[in-house]
Structure formats: structure tokens, C-alpha cells
Amino acid sequence: MRTYEIKRKTAETDISLSLCLDGNGQGIIDTGCGFLDHMLTLFAKHAHYDLSVKCIGDTNVDYHHTVEDIGICLGEAFNKALGDKKGIKRYGDKTIPMDESLILCAVDISGRGYLGYALEIPAYKVGDFDTELVEEFFMAFVRKADITLHIRQICGVNSHHIIEGAFKAFARALSYATEIDERYANEIPSTKGVI
């Protein structure tokens, strides 16, 4: 089982997170931010990962530190859970419709952290969640996960739908990229011999 647990405590957040890449899509999420809970729950479901997150953050300020630090922890847990990356498919992409929204996500588990982010979210907030934090989450994740991630909005006008479509497409693309390809089960998927 490809699993990892992390605890991270700063002056701004106290996070406990566990991730199992070979799970059943179970999410036990308590971040202190309802919208983020929703996004991480559907991420776990659509990636078919088991994810547990407990965060106590300085939400009296805003959700910035909570969102970014959870992205950091999830990215690190993802990277560590993958281990030597032998046999993974490495690449994944998915285009997800969410009502009027259509979001494309492509991922390369490359060992190089890069985010190509092209979401145009019309509202500044969904509920009490600042929509600019979506980019902060994905940026924090890719830096610690060492992956290349592109997220593109093909169309969409509803902010909730755009963000939800992004998390679902991200989950499905990542899930495919982390599947073991039995033809290459003992190989690193790179001509360099290392990722």
C-alpha cells in the first residue's frame, strides 16, 4: 500500500494528514473551511484515494494559511507515498464537464514542480472562501509533489462549478497517472532511470 502520514505545525496552522493512493475514495476532512472540505472530499472520491485531513488554522484572519499549508502537506504526502515511482503510468489527463463548465487537467509526475493555471473564476468568493486561493492550493501542491500540472478552463461562468470541475479533473488525471502499469511494473517511467 502506497501511504504516507504527515503532521505539520506552524504558528499559523496545525495539520494532521494521511493519504493512501491505493484506497477506496474515502475522505475524512475537517479543515475549518466548508468549501475546502467539499473540494477535498470530492478529490478523494474521484481519485479513489483515501484521505484524512484535520487542520486547526488561523481562520480568524482568513483561509489563506489553511489552504496553502494543506496544499503543502498533501503534496508532500503524495510525493512520499509514491515511493520510487516504479511502474506508474506517469501521465494523466482528463476533461470534466460540470454543468456549463468544462475543465481540462493534465499531469506529468515528472520530478519537476510546475503549475500552468488558466482558470477564470468570475466571483471573488464562493461562500466565505476566497476564490484566488484555488491557485494557491495547486501551487503549494505541485511544489511539494514535484509534478507538472496544467489546469485549463475551456468554458464556464459559475464559480462553484469551475472550481469543482477543476478539483474533479485534477483527481481523475492524478489517479490515472499513479496507476501501476503491469507491463512496466519494475521500471521507472523515464529514460533517465529516475524521476
Share of the chain above pLDDT 90, in %: 92
Secondary structure (3-state) at 142: helix
b/e code 110-147 from CB counts within 10 Å (16+ = b): beebebeeebebeeeebeebbbebbbbbbbbbbbbbbb
CATH of region 3-184, choose from 3.30.1330.30, 3.30.230.40, 2.40.10.10, 3.30.465.10: 3.30.230.40
The stretch 139-148 carries a mean pLDDT of 98
Q: Are 141 and 174 in contact (CB under 8 A)?
A: no
pLDDT at residue 168 in the model:
98
| Entry pTM | 0.96
Summarised one tens digit per residue, pLDDT across range 5-64 is 999 999 999 999 999 999 999 999 999 999 999 999 999 999 999 999 999 999 999 999
Within 10 Å of residue 36's Cβ, how many Cβ atoms?
23
